[in-house]
Structure 1
Amino acid sequence: MTFTSSRSEFLTIRGLRCHVRHWGRDGAPKIFMLHGWMDVGASFQFVVDALQGDWHVIAPDWRGFGLSQRCGGDTYWFPDYLADLDAILRHYSPDEAVNLLGHSMGGNVVGLYAGARPERIRKLINLEGGGLRSSKPEQAPGRYAKWMDALLEQPELRNYPSQAAVAARLQKTNPRLGDERAAFLAQHWSAQNDAGEWEILGDPAHKQPGPLPYHVEDIMACWSAITAPVLWVEAEQTNMWTWMGGEQEGRAELERRLAHLRDLECKVLADAGHMLHHDQPEELAHLIEAFLAR
């Protein structure tokens, strides 16, 4: 299997060193791709391989993921992702509206951003970034207590004896992932430490529970402010209901949320799970290019 070559760049974004991966020709139309939680920008490799047109794909690693610098604190604050994205877009595309894609957590970020900065978005693609179950006020005391309790412990991520073991771990989570693609992801998802073990390239602090509530109506106010056409893509075998309160409740709530988008196209990818950009990259690339061409 041949993978399209990419190049790395490092920027200082809001005081942190940010790693940005590029594919394609400088000067070609841009697509910005934003990865999900515990993932990296290189995760979009297989979709890039399947694109047929002349594109410049730009995929940063969020702060504390991949090769980007960690925040240095004990908590990651979600609004920082929006401000980081704003700085990245101002650097690479200061004067033109952009094609913006996000997966999972990245989809949540781009949806908020597109409402806050609607004039900056040409087309928006959301891959299963539907959000979380809405918080209730009576949950606040327990949520703050859980956060403070977690701060008393040092979070850790498991290390692996080899890069092959990392690939096997990826395949355990996603059985659809073939050997060559798993091996490719493992080399970007991990790095060898001084002890000779392979560490996951993610700050363990991302595992900590957050103290802030998820106010879904605030999120929907942002979605309602989006003026760009939106492509929503979900997987037929998705597990996003896990963080939306179960499939029955989650499906109804997702439909309610999507109704806030004024110019919406919805697609479902067969034989795919939540990592749909790994499971069906060719079909996803086709949907992306057809949507951007319309």
Structure 2
Amino acid sequence: MFMKNSTSDFIQIRDHRYHCRHWGNPEAPKLFMLHGWMDVGASFQFVVDALKQDWHVIAPDLRGFGLTTGPKTDSYWFPDYLADLDAILHHYSPDAPINLIGHSMGGNVVGIYAGIRPERIAKLIILEGFGLPVTQPNQAPKRYKKWLDELRQKPEMRTYRSAAEVAQRLQKTNPRLSDERAAFLAQHWARENDLGQWEILGDPAHKMSSPILYRVEEVMACWEQISAPVLWVEADQTEIFALLGGKEVARPEADRRLTYFKQVRKEVVSAAGHMLHHDQPVVLAGLIEEFLG
């Protein structure tokens, strides 16, 4: 399997030492990619390998993931990802509008950001960025209580005996993942500690419940302000609908949310699940480059 070479740099972003992975010619048009929950920038390797045009791809490890480091925290707040992205884009492209891609949680981040700073976005691509279920204010007391209870017992991440065992864990979550791709991802998703155990490169605090309810209409208000063309990509076998109350509930709600984009093109990738950039990278790369022109 041919893989394009990548390089890393570390930049200081809001008290964090941010790790950013780069592929391609630094003088080529920039293409920023944001990963999802419990993932890392290297996750886009297979899509980058399939890109045919000359791009400078930049994929950071978001705070609390991968090789990005910063102060310890009990909880992660979504607005911090927006502020981090704003600082990263200013660092690498302070003036020119940029092409921006986000997957899953990263898709939520880029969608909200594109509505906050519409002038910064040339074109926007959201991969499986459905968001979270609708919440109601009366859910707040129980949510706050759950968060307080969880703070009393810190979450932990299990360790693995080898990189091969990490790869097996990835394949358990996504059976479509080939042995070769799983082995590659395992090297970036985890690292060996001083005891010879492989630790996941994700802060256990991410397992905590958020005390802040997901306010869908606030997100939609941001989507309404997006001026850039949007490419919305779903997987035909996505597992996300199960988390959103089942397809009968999730499909019409997802379709309702899509109406808030001014210019949106929807594509569905076949034979793929939520990690569609792992399952069908060639198809996805084709859609990306066709959309970006």
CA shift for structure 1 position 61: 0.2
User: Take 1:78 and 1:152, find their aligned partners in 2: how far apart are those partners?
Assistant: 22
Match of 2:227, as an amino acid? T
Contact 2:19 2:67 in 1 (8 A): yes
| Partner SS, residue 265 of structure 1 | strand
- C-alpha RMSD over aligned residues: 0.6
| Partner SS, residue 31 of structure 1 | strand
CA shift for structure 1 position 280: 0.1
Indicate whether 1:288 and 2:288 are aligned.
yes
2:103 aligns to what?
103
Indicate whether 1:149 and 2:158 are aligned.
no
1:68 aligns to what?
68
Contact 1:23 1:58 in 2 (8 A): yes
CA shift for structure 1 position 176: 0.6
User: Take 1:204 and 1:33, find their aligned partners in 2: how far apart are those partners?
Assistant: 23
Q: 1:42-94 CA distances to partner (integer Å, 9 max, x unpaired)?
A: 00000000000000000000001000014411000100000000000000000
User: Take 2:3 and 2:164, find their aligned partners in 1: how far apart are those partners?
Assistant: 18
1:252 aligns to what?
252
1:274 aligns to what?
274
User: Take 1:212 and 1:178, find their aligned partners in 2: how far apart are those partners?
Assistant: 37
1:205 aligns to what?
205
User: Take 1:126 and 1:67, find their aligned partners in 2: how far apart are those partners?
Assistant: 24
| Matches for 1:12-161 after TM superposition, within 5 Å | 12-161=12-161
Identity over aligned pairs, percent: 65
2:190 aligns to what?
190
CA shift for structure 1 position 194: 1.1
Deviates more, 1:274-283 or 1:1-10: 1-10
TM superposition score normalised by structure 2? 0.99
TM superposition score normalised by structure 1? 0.99
User: Take 1:124 and 1:3, find their aligned partners in 2: how far apart are those partners?
Assistant: 25
Aligned length: 293
User: Take 2:59 and 2:162, find their aligned partners in 1: how far apart are those partners?
Assistant: 26
Q: 1:203-239 CA distances to partner (integer Å, 9 max, x unpaired)?
A: 0000000000111100000000000000000000001
Match of 1:239, as an amino acid? E
Match of 1:257, as an amino acid? R
1:238 aligns to what?
238
User: Take 1:162 and 1:80, find their aligned partners in 2: how far apart are those partners?
Assistant: 33
Match of 2:178, as an amino acid? G
Contact 1:63 1:71 in 2 (8 A): no
1:10 aligns to what?
10
Match of 1:65, as an amino acid? F
Unaligned runs of 5+ residues in structure 2 are none
| Partner SS, residue 226 of structure 1 | coil
User: Take 2:170 and 2:243, find their aligned partners in 1: how far apart are those partners?
Assistant: 20
CA shift for structure 1 position 240: 1.1
| Partner SS, residue 107 of structure 1 | helix
Unaligned runs of 5+ residues in structure 1 are none
Call closer, same or farther: CA 1:166–1:24 in 2, change over 3 Å.
Answer: same
Match of 1:196, as an amino acid? G
Match of 1:201, as an amino acid? L
Indicate whether 1:167 and 2:164 are aligned.
no
Match of 2:176, as an amino acid? R
